[in-house]
């Protein structure tokens, strides 16, 4: 019975997968099963009778001895972990051994029995896992981005050094911490909704940014990507994420946005931001049924500052204007610089035109205050156009266009004033637009022509010269007056080629009259600002004189007093070059500015033409008479020819008789006439009205 049981027992042991062994107290194998033999690569006969020390190295032999000895001393079953066995072929296997004492019938230890399990593959996999995790942890700890894991309640279960650095807490402080500790209430709600979305959908969220609070109280910005952590059953157990500190990036983005929406020079919002704020004002005013105003302000004579004092001075003026405009406005109003010398103001919640007018006048007065530029006091002014929502426009384009048109209307009426937009202004500029669109074809279609107004010598009554005056007849528009033609030519930029044509045509006509046997007379031609600033002006005049063959001394070029005052330093150089050509120079509309009497002594001017506004009032206005006398006195002291223009009545003529003036011009003698009619007048030699 007993023998049968022993046989069955050995049969079972021989068929188990783990190696089984029995050794005596000296460490000699007395029994091994088949699996044990396979583990070591020996037969049973080769192992039984061999000491275990022969199947390993010295270090592992000592490890096994200590383990067996502890079992012997305590009687407690023990394990030998990481025991390295040497196979018959010389290869090594990692073996996990469990052993216990063998007792004889009297309970005395006589040996050990145990199992040996080959754990080489498992240990290798564990080592690979350990190394992989070690690499993963090393990467996690050394990357700049913060890594974290939180449970479903939002408490940290893992953080790396970067997250600790970002938040200013130690790892021990963060583990178990709730996100409420480092987030404001609004941010907590944001994060709850974010993590809840990940939980509900199972979809990760990438690059979500929010504001956080650090341990030291400072605030920063963070960008996180979050995904779910699931257990083996696929159930959500937490969240894993990467966080990046984007505080510096946010600062750069804000700086870029600031630069994109603000004027670098003045610090004011720019055109881009103005459009955004204007749309916001439109939406708000529409919702609450309010009015607001758009003010377009353009500095008068700003180009003079740049041309006279340089662009640095111009920049200083713009900065000072920005400061002044801010001081003149309410905190609720908005101001931007559109570019150049153009500013725009949004006046919110306009309750009355009277209050708005008061504010606009305050803005004008603020800009008008004297400004010192390079030690010299300079007076600024502005022209302002005003449009009001909703009557002048209900969208951005119409409101800004209305204010812009009103500003140009204000500028045409003179400096330092404002105009409210009106349908009349709109019609006026619509007409100008039609002119500007039709004007380019006017020269090609021969629609432009010249008329000539005689100029008479007060002593003899003889015609001494004529002034060439530009006219335009368009089949659709009819006869376009100079008051409408010249601004259209100026704004379209065609004044230069048209002026070139006027010069050439006038010189040719003068020579044609001479070939008809008429006396040599002067030919006066007006020059605009753009012509004076044109680099080709001198060449154009040379060509006109050369092609026509006219004596340069017969050509008189007229510039206005206002033009002289606006661009005095630059124009002096141009005038000197013109004088070198041998032509005469005349200062037209003189006296309208009341401020250039002291400057004319520096000018190479031959003729002063008293402005028609003064001439018209001479018989009844003592002040205008005094101004005229002052002009004549200074002009004659400088040996200039004095011409009174705009003479229309015998009374005006009587006040201007020699020796007061040298020459006169006006409707009293002749309106501007055709070349043929002008030739007839010239042939008469004298005007009987002067006898």
Stretch 433-443: mean pLDDT: 75
Asked if 392 and 402 count as a contact pair (C-beta separation under 8 A), the reply is yes
Helix (H, G, I), strand (E, B) or coil at 92: strand
Q: Are residues 384 and 243 both part of a single domain?
A: no
The count of domains in the chain is 4
Choose among 648, 468, 458: nearest CA to 557.
468
pLDDT of residue 41: 92
Average pLDDT over the chain reads 85
pLDDT of residue 140: 60
User: Which pTM value belongs to this model?
Assistant: 0.51
**567 pLDDT above the threshold of 60:** no
Asked if 210 and 222 count as a contact pair (C-beta separation under 8 A), the reply is yes
Stretch 517-539: mean pLDDT: 90
Residue 256 lies in a domain: no
Q: ∠ CA(191), CA(197), CA(199), 5° rounding?
A: 100
| Confidence band, pLDDT 50/70/90 cuts, at residue 103 | very high
Q: Are residues 236 and 185 both part of a single domain?
A: yes
The number of helices, as runs of H, and strands, as runs of E, in the chain is 25, 26
CATH number at residue 78: 3.30.450.20
553 against 602, higher pLDDT: 553
Residue 230 lies in a domain: yes
Q: Are residues 349 and 272 both part of a single domain?
A: yes
Residue 138 lies in a domain: no
Quickly tell me which residue has 């994420």 as its tokens.
241
- Predicted confidence (pLDDT) per residue in 624-649, tens digit: 788 788 888 888 888 899 998 989 88
Asked if 450 and 470 count as a contact pair (C-beta separation under 8 A), the reply is yes
- Predicted confidence (pLDDT) per residue in 486-497, tens digit: 877 877 778 899
Q: Are residues 176 and 297 both part of a single domain?
A: no
Q: Are residues 407 and 479 both part of a single domain?
A: no
Residue 257 lies in a domain: no
| Confidence band, pLDDT 50/70/90 cuts, at residue 356 | very high
- On the 0-12 / 13-18 / 19+ scale of CB atoms within 10 A, 445 is exposed
pLDDT of residue 563: 63
Residue 34 lies in a domain: yes
E strands present in 231-333: 236-245, 292-300
Taking phi over 0 as left and psi of -120 to 50 as alpha, with beta for the rest, 18 belongs to beta
Residue 317 lies in a domain: yes
- Predicted confidence (pLDDT) per residue in 383-419, tens digit: 999 999 999 999 998 899 889 889 988 887 777 889 9
Question: Do the strands 448-457 and 663-665 form a parallel or antiparallel pair, or are they unpaired?
Answer: antiparallel
- Predicted confidence (pLDDT) per residue in 131-166, tens digit: 766 666 666 666 667 888 989 988 888 888 888 888
Q: Are residues 416 and 439 both part of a single domain?
A: no
| Confidence band, pLDDT 50/70/90 cuts, at residue 570 | low
Asked if 241 and 224 count as a contact pair (C-beta separation under 8 A), the reply is yes
Q: Are residues 587 and 470 both part of a single domain?
A: yes
Q: Can you give the residue range of the structural domain that contains 245?
A: 143-251
**2 pLDDT above the threshold of 50:** no
pLDDT of residue 183: 67
- Predicted confidence (pLDDT) per residue in 360-378, tens digit: 999 999 998 888 877 777 7
CA distances to 473, 582, 600 from 553, rounded to whole Å, are 31, 6, 21
CATH number at residue 407: 3.30.70.270
Q: Are residues 28 and 162 both part of a single domain?
A: no
Stretch 327-350: mean pLDDT: 92
pLDDT of residue 285: 94
pLDDT of residue 136: 63
If one counts every other C-beta atom within 10 angstroms of the C-beta of residue 497, the result is: 14
Q: Are residues 410 and 453 both part of a single domain?
A: no
pLDDT of residue 659: 59
Sign of CA dihedral 482, 483, 484, 486: positive
Q: Are residues 375 and 458 both part of a single domain?
A: no
Domain end residue (candidates: 219, 251, 283): 251
């Amino acid at each position: 019975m007993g023998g049968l049981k022993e046989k069955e027992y050995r049969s079972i042991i021989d068929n188990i997968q783990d190696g089984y062994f029995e050794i005596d107290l000296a460490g000699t194998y007395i029994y091994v099963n088949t699996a044990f033999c396979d583990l070591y690569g020996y037969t049973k006969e080769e192992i039984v009778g061999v000491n275990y020390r022969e199947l390993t190295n010295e270090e592992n032999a000592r490890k096994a001895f200590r383990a067996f000895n502890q079992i012997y001393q305590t009687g407690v079953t023990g394990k030998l972990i990481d025991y390295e066995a040497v196979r018959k072929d010389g290869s090594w296997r990692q073996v996990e051994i469990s052993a216990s004492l063998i007792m004889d019938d009297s309970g005395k230890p006589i040996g050990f029995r145990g199992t040996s399990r080959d754990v080489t593959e498992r240990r290798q996999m564990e080592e690979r896992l350990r190394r992989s995790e070690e690499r993963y942890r090393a990467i996690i700890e050394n990357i700049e981005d913060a890594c974290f894991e939180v449970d479903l309640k939002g408490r940290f279960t893992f953080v790396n050094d970067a997250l600790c650095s970002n938040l200013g807490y130690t790892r021990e402080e963060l583990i178990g911490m709730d996100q409420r500790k480092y987030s404001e209430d609004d941010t907590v709600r944001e994060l709850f909704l974010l993590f809840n979305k990940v939980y509900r959908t199972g979809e990760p969220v990438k690059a979500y940014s929010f504001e956080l609070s650090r341990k030291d109280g400072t605030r920063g910005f963070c960008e996180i990507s979050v995904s779910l952590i699931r257990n083996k059953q696929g159930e959500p157990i937490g969240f894993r994420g990467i966080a990046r500190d984007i505080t510096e990036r946010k600062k750069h983005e804000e700086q870029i946005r600031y630069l994109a929406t603000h004027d670098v020079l003045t610090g004011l919002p720019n055109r881009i931001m103005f459009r955004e704020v204007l749309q916001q004002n439109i939406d708000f005013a529409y919702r609450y049924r309010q009015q607001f105003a758009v003010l377009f302000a353009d500095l008068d004579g700003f180009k003079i500052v740049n041309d006279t004092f340089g662009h640095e001075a111009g920049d200083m003026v713009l900065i000072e204007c920005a400061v002044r405009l801010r001081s003149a406005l309410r905190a609720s109003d908005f101001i931007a610089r559109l570019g150049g010398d153009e500013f725009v103001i949004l006046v919110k919640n306009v309750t009355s035109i009277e209050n708005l007018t008061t504010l606009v006048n305050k803005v004008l007065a603020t800009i008008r205050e004297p400004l010192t530029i390079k030690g010299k006091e300079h007076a600024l002014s502005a022209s302002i156009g005003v449009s009001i929502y909703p009557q002048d426009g209900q969208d951005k384009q119409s409101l800004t266009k209305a204010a812009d048109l009103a500003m140009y209307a204000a500028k045409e009426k003179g400096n330092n004033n404002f105009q409210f937009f009106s349908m009349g202004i709109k019609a006026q500029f619509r007409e100008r637009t039609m002119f500007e669109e039709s004007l380019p074809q006017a020269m090609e279609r021969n629609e432009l022509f010249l008329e000539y107004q005689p100029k008479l010598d007060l002593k003899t009554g003889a015609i001494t010269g004529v002034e060439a005056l530009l006219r335009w007849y368009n089949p659709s528009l009819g006869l376009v007056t100079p008051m409408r033609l010249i601004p259209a030519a100026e704004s379209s930029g065609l004044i230069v080629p048209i002026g070139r044509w006027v010069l050439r045509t006038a010189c040719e006509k003068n020579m044609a009259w001479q070939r008809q046997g008429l006396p040599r007379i002067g030919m006066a031609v007006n020059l605009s600002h753009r012509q004076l600033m044109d680099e080709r002006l001198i060449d154009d005049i040379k060509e006109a004189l050369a092609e026509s063959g006219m004596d340069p001394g017969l050509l008189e070029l007229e510039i206005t007093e206002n033009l002289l005052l606006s661009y005095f330093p630059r124009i002096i150089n141009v005038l000197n070059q013109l004088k070198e050509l041998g032509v005469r120079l005349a200062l037209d509309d003189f006296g309208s500015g009341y401020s250039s009497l002291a400057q004319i002594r520096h000018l190479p001017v031959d003729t002063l033409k008293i402005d028609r506004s003064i001439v018209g009032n001479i018989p009844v206005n003592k002040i205008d008479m005094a101004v005229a006398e002052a002009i004549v006195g200074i002009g004659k002291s400088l040996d200039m020819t004095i011409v009174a223009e705009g003479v229309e009545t015998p009374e005006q003529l009587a006040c201007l008789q020699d020796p007061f003036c040298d020459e006169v011009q006006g409707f009293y003698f002749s309106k501007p006439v055709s070349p043929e009619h002008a030739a007839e007048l010239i042939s008469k030699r004298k005007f009987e009205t002067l006898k």
